């Protein structure tokens, strides 16, 4: 029985990989409030890629009021990371739904830890490029506090922001080092205006074609 089940899982994984093997996969990594979402919106406008924000996908689940959503909400309010299998499953579903029509996938806010990157590659595929959206912790904090005035996000408050930044530096930043050895990391200076950030991003995306 057990082997039968795992065999089935393997088959599902392979077919997902097969379906996505010609897709461009772009990871967008940076701290909370660095401007990932903002930059991704501009990329979609110009390049027509599919934007997948794991944060947005998770928040949709929270807002649906499901049991799973309630558990997610508790974790997110503490500024912690949601279990990997949950995020990955939701991400894979979303990508497969668009596999036939998408010119590329922008994965916003994932991987949050090295292990998530490794699992992603096992179940979905390898990233083509990693855009590292780099801003200082002061800049990120200021942007998040401002966003918190209107976002309604449970985690855009001073106390949670501190914890999210700690989580970012200890757990997410190592992801960048992990992919640097493959030569796919492109560092973007995100201290400036939205336009200046986007200009740097365009240089990198244009080089892909």
CB of 146 to ligand ADP, least distance (A): 6
Contact positions with Mg ion (CB under 5 A) in 18-77: 36-37
Q: Is the peptide bond before 111 cis (omega within 30 degrees of 0)?
A: yes
Contact positions with ligand ADP (CB under 6 A) in 147-186: 147
CB atoms within 10 A of CB 78: 14
CA–CA separation, 84 vs 113, rounded Å? 9
CB of 197 to ligand ADP, least distance (A): 5
CA–CA separation, 73 vs 82, rounded Å? 9
Helix runs in 48-136, H state only: 54-63, 67-77, 84-98, 114-123
- Rg of the chain (C-alpha set): 17
- From ligand ADP, Mg ion, none, interface partner of 59 (C-beta below 5 to 8 A by class): none
Residue 125 found at the interface with ligand ADP (CB under 6 A):
no
Residue with tokens 């002061």: 138
Taking residues 14 to 53 in sequence order and writing x for each that binds ligand ADP by CB under 6 A, - otherwise, the string is ----------------x-xxxxxxx---------------
CB of 147 to ligand ADP, least distance (A): 3
Which residues here bind Mg ion, judged by CB under 5 A? 36-37
């Amino acid at each position: 029985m057990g082997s039968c089940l795992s065999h089935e899982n393997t088959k599902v994984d392979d077919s997902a990989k097969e379906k996505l093997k010609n897709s461009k996969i772009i990871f967008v990594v940076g701290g909370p409030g660095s401007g990932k979402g903002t930059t991704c919106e501009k990329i979609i406008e110009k390049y027509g890629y599919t934007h997948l924000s794991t944060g947005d996908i998770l928040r949709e689940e929270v807002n649906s009021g499901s049991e799973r959503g309630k558990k997610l909400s508790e974790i997110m309010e503490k500024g912690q990371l949601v279990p990997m299998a949950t995020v990955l499953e939701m991400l894979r579903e979303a990508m497969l739904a668009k596999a036939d029509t998408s010119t590329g996938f922008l994965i916003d806010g994932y991987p949050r830890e090295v292990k998530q990157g490794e699992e992603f590659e096992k179940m979905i595929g390898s990233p083509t490029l990693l855009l590292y959206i780099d801003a200082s912790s002061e800049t990120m904090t200021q942007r998040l506090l401002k966003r918190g005035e209107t976002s309604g996000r449970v985690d855009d408050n001073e106390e949670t922001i501190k914890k999210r930044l700690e989580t970012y530096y200890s757990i997410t930043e190592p992801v960048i080092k992990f992919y640097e050895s493959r030569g796919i990391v492109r560092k973007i200076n995100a201290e400036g205006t939205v336009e200046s950030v986007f200009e740097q991003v365009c240089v990198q995306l244009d080089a892909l074609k």
